[in-house]
């Protein structure tokens, strides 16, 4: 059994985040506040060392990765790290779409996907990552649903537990979260 050390980074703030819009898997850019956050992240992790760096292929995650790491690493994009596709609710105000909903754990959002779908993609990604980097340490730049999937997979939590314990509920941001995947 191989172990994979993971440092997970969430993307910096976007215009949609600031405006209370549920983006899902839409591609939106980082806001000026997000750009300042990236500078702070760059300083906070400048001594971190990784064997490989992966990012969602959505611009907000890739822009965060490139800004935080500069040219220290090749950044490999992977669509399996994308935010959950919330289908018809994409681009709607958060007040309309509501908070994370356990209703969509095993049932897809209308014309979108479920959290179980995100977990399947994340398990596939992790299986490949540990095969390519046995006993290594990687960085992942991605989104809320993939991070919650990591909580489910690496800490053996239910989706409801992961959603309830999400750092976004308490505002307890940090510059990266550590996980260990054994596969």
pLDDT in tens, 92-134: 887 655 556 788 999 999 999 999 999 999 999 999 999 999 9
Q: What is the CATH number of the domain that holds 50?
A: 3.40.50.1240
Residue range of the domain that includes 9: 3-182
Amino acid 98: pLDDT: 56
Mean pLDDT throughout 57-73?
A: 97
Full-model pTM: 0.95
The neighbour count for residue 167, using CB atoms within 10 Å, is 14
Helices 115-132 and 144-155 pack at an angle, to 10 degrees, of 70
The neighbour count for residue 55, using CB atoms within 10 Å, is 25
The total number of structural domains in the chain stands at 1
Short-list 35, 100, 20, 107, CA closest to 68: 35
Q: What gap in Å lies between CA 130 and CA 122, rounded to an integer?
A: 12
The neighbour count for residue 40, using CB atoms within 10 Å, is 12
């Amino acid at each position: 059994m191989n172990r994979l050390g993971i440092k997970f980074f969430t993307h910096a703030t976007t215009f949609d985040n600031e405006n209370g819009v549920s983006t899902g898997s839409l591609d939106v850019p980082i806001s000026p506040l997000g750009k300042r956050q990236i500078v702070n992240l760059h300083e906070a992790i400048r001594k971190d060392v990784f064997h490989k760096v992966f990012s969602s292929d959505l611009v907000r995650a890739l822009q965060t990765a490139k800004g935080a790491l500069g040219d220290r690493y090749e950044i490999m994009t992977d669509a399996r790290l994308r935010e959950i596709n919330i289908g018809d609710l994409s681009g709607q105000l958060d007040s309309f779409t509501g908070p994370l909903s356990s209703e969509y754990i095993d049932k897809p959002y209308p014309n979108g996907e479920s959290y179980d779908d995100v977990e399947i993609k994340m398990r596939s990604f992790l299986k490949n990552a540990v095969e390519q980097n046995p006993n290594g340490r990687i960085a992942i730049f991605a989104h809320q649903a993939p991070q919650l999937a990591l909580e489910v997979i690496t800490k053996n939590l239910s989706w409801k537990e992961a959603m309830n314990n999400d750092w976004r509920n308490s505002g307890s941001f940090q510059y990266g979260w550590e996980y260990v995947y054994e596969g």
